[in-house]
Amino acid sequence: MKISDALSQARLNLDSQGVSSSKLDSLILLSHTLSFSKEQIIFNPDFELSLAQQQVFFDLIVRRLQREPVSQIIGKREFFGEDFFVSKDVLDPRPDSESLIELILKKFPDRSQKLKILELGTGSGCLIITLLKSYGAAVGTGIDISAEALKISQKNSEFCQVHKRLNLQKSDLFAEVNILEKFDLIISNPPYIASEEIEKLEPEVKNFEPRIALDGGLDGLSFYRRIAADAKNFLEKNGKIFLEIGFGQKEKVVEIFIKNGFLLIDSKLDLSGIPRVLEFSC
């Protein structure tokens, strides 16, 4: 079977089950199967797959038909130009989260700054690791309540060669963070989906991503309240907080932080033009 025929058959199978990204998914999974770049796949349509390669590829397509995310099938997801290892224990890095990185890079243009960064709910580590790669003199602490998520973060930090500047710690938000430690930046993409809304999410999310990384309580705002209540104790003077938020949450999150003595400094839209990142100072 040629590459062109394999892709065509895979797309038909995925389309039949309503997988909207069938073309891209097929390309990525075949690229993974053959250890080819996507460009090699596209420009070699007549390349003949062995029977073993066909078996591996269509086994992966079956997993995708069961709505398992492509990232979990191949074990990685691109974020800000870098591949990050992922698993069922961490939230998939998403393009919209790059807005948080972009806002920080804009606000701190000097890449030699010796920033001290704390991430709450580090998951795969894509946010704090990207910042440590961008700021070569920065150091970071990544917090997560999940030991399995921290293992993924460690693996990514080693792969990206920032592990010597990143301390990973198991903690429920600030609970185990040394009260004497102060940070220039606190960042977080906390769980912000209202509990009752999780079952309405697409199968790739509700069935394969960790609920602990999605569930933001009854109204989706529980973690923002907790962060706002304690963050001042861990910020340097003139320190900043950068938070990712969900659709329609800007006004409520701003209200929570203002009640806790913070000032809204800036916000940034995501790729769809939706408010996605908020910047606060105390």
DSSP string spanning 147-191? Answer: HHHHHHHHHHHHHTT-GGGEEEEE-STTTTS-TT--EEEEEE---
Let me know whether 242 and 114 are in one domain.
yes
74 assigned to some structural domain: no
192 domain-assigned: yes
Q: CB-hemisphere CA count at 13 Å for 130? A: 23
**What's residue 186's pLDDT?**
98
- Of 191, 103, 107, 104, which Cα lies nearest the Cα of 140? 104
78: in domain: no
Residue 191 amino acid letter = P
Determine what percent of the chain is predicted with pLDDT higher than 90.
Answer: 99
In a domain, 263, yes or no: yes
| Domain count of the fold of the chain | 2
Pair 60, 113 in one domain: no
Are residues 62 and 89 located together in one domain of the fold?
no
Rounded Cα–Cα distance for residues 272 and 265 (Å): 22
Model confidence at 123, pLDDT cuts 50, 70, 90, reads very high
* CA-atom Rg of the chain in angstroms: 20
Distance separating alpha carbons of residues 209 and 89, to the nearest angstrom: 7
**Stretch 52-75: mean pLDDT:** 97
Half-sphere exposure of 226 (CA within 13 A, CB side): 16
At position 268, the amino acid (one-letter code) is K
Same domain, 59 and 125: no
Q: Is 219 within the bounds of a domain? A: yes
Q: Are residues 220 and 261 in the same domain?
A: yes
Q: How far apart are CA 245 and CA 230, in angstroms?
A: 18
pLDDT (tens digit per residue) in 152-200: 999 999 999 999 999 999 999 999 999 999 999 999 999 999 999 999 9
> Which domain covers residue 244, as residue numbers?
85-281
State the CATH number of the domain containing residue 226.
3.40.50.150
76 located within any domain: no
Say yes or no: 251 and 138 in one domain. Answer: yes
Q: Is the domain of 61 the same as that of 90? A: no
In a domain, 143, yes or no: yes
pLDDT for 282 beyond 90: no
pLDDT of residue 197: 96
- Do both 31 and 146 map to the same domain? no
> In this predicted model, what pLDDT tens digit does every residue of 234-278 receive, in sequence order?
999 999 999 999 999 999 999 999 999 999 999 999 989 999 999
Measured between its terminal Cα atoms, the distance across the chain in Å is 62
Q: Does some domain include residue 103?
A: yes
54 plus 98 within the same structural domain: no
